[in-house]
Amino acid sequence: MLTDDRVVPVIAAADIERDAHAAFRRYRATHPFAILETGGHVVLRHEDVTRLSRDPRLQATETAIPAQGGVTAGPLFDIFQHGMLTANGQAHGRRRTPMSRALAAQAIDDFRPAVRVAAESLIEGCHRDGSIELASGFAARLPVLALAAMFGLPDQEVPEFIQDINEMNEFFRPNATARGMADAELAAAKVQYSLKKLIARKWVGQADDFLSQYLALAEGYQQLSGMEILIQIVQLIIGGTESVQTALVAQTANLLLNRSQWMAVCDDPTLVPAAVSESLRFEPGIAGVVRVSTEDIDIDRWTLPAGQLVILSSMSALRDERVFSRPDDFNIFRTELAASNLAFGGGPHKCVAEAFGRAELEVGLSVLAERLPGLTLDSRPAFSGHVFVRRTTECRVSWQS
Nearer to ligand HEM, 123 or 234 (CB): 234
Stretch of 14-22, 157-165, 277-285, 362-370 contacting ligand HEM, by CB under 6 A: 277-285
Stretch of 108-116, 119-127, 241-249, 363-371 contacting ligand HEM, by CB under 6 A: 241-249
What backbone phi and psi angles, to 5 degrees, belong to 384? -130, 165
| 256 vs 80: CA distance, rounded Å | 38
Note whether 134 and 380 are within 8 A (CB): no
How many CA atoms lie within 13 Å of 363's alpha carbon, on the beta-carbon side? Answer: 27
DSSP state of 218: H
**Does 75 contact ligand HEM by CB under 6 A?**
no
**Does 243 contact ligand HEM by CB under 6 A?**
yes
CB 124 to ligand HEM: min, Å: 23
CB 182 to ligand HEM: min, Å: 25
| 25 vs 97: CA distance, rounded Å | 37
CB 175 to ligand HEM: min, Å: 21
Q: Count of residues binding ligand HEM (CB under 6 A)?
A: 24
Which residues does 76 contact at the CB level (< 8 Å), separation at least 6? 66, 168, 171, 184, 185, 188
- Ranges within 315-354 binding ligand HEM (CB under 6 A): 343-345, 349, 351-353
Residue 188 has a CB neighbour count (10 Å cut-off) of 25
Q: Which of 50, 59, 235, 261 binds ligand HEM (CB under 6 A)?
A: 235
**Does 43 contact ligand HEM by CB under 6 A?**
no
| 26 vs 168: CA distance, rounded Å | 35
Q: What mask of x and - would describe binding to ligand HEM in positions 278 to 297, judged by CB under 6 A? A: --x---xxx--x--------
| 147 vs 366: CA distance, rounded Å | 19
Nearest by Cα to 134 from 384, 380, 383, 401: 380
**Does 363 contact ligand HEM by CB under 6 A?**
no
- Angstrom CA distances, 135 to 39, 247, 250, 380, 383, stand at 29, 10, 10, 11, 11
Q: Which of 161, 171, 356, 399 binds ligand HEM (CB under 6 A)?
A: 356
Q: Which of 40, 66, 75, 239 binds ligand HEM (CB under 6 A)?
A: 239
Nearer to ligand HEM, 149 or 266 (CB): 149
Nearer to ligand HEM, 32 or 345 (CB): 345
Beta bridge partners of 133: 396
Nearer to ligand HEM, 105 or 263 (CB): 105
**Does 96 contact ligand HEM by CB under 6 A?**
yes
- Angstrom CA distances, 169 to 9, 187, 258, stand at 32, 9, 31
CB 12 to ligand HEM: min, Å: 25
| 11 vs 35: CA distance, rounded Å | 6
Nearest by Cα to 59 from 354, 335, 291: 291
Nearer to ligand HEM, 345 or 399 (CB): 345
Q: Which of 16, 119, 244, 253 binds ligand HEM (CB under 6 A)?
A: 244
DSSP state of 307: T
CB 150 to ligand HEM: min, Å: 8
Helix axes 242-257, 141-151, angle to 10 degrees: 140
**Does 84 contact ligand HEM by CB under 6 A?**
yes
Q: What is the dihedral of CA 195, 197, 200, 205, to 10 degrees?
A: -100
CB 50 to ligand HEM: min, Å: 12
CB 85 to ligand HEM: min, Å: 4
Give residue number: closest CB to ligand HEM: 239
Which residues does 14 contact at the CB level (< 8 Å), separation at least 6? none
**Does 240 contact ligand HEM by CB under 6 A?**
yes
Q: What mask of x and - would describe binding to ligand HEM in positions 16 to 35, judged by CB under 6 A? A: --------------------
Nearer to ligand HEM, 75 or 240 (CB): 240
Residues in touch with ligand HEM (CB under 6 A): 84-85, 96, 235-236, 239-240, 243-244, 247, 280, 284-286, 289, 343-345, 349, 351-353, 356-357
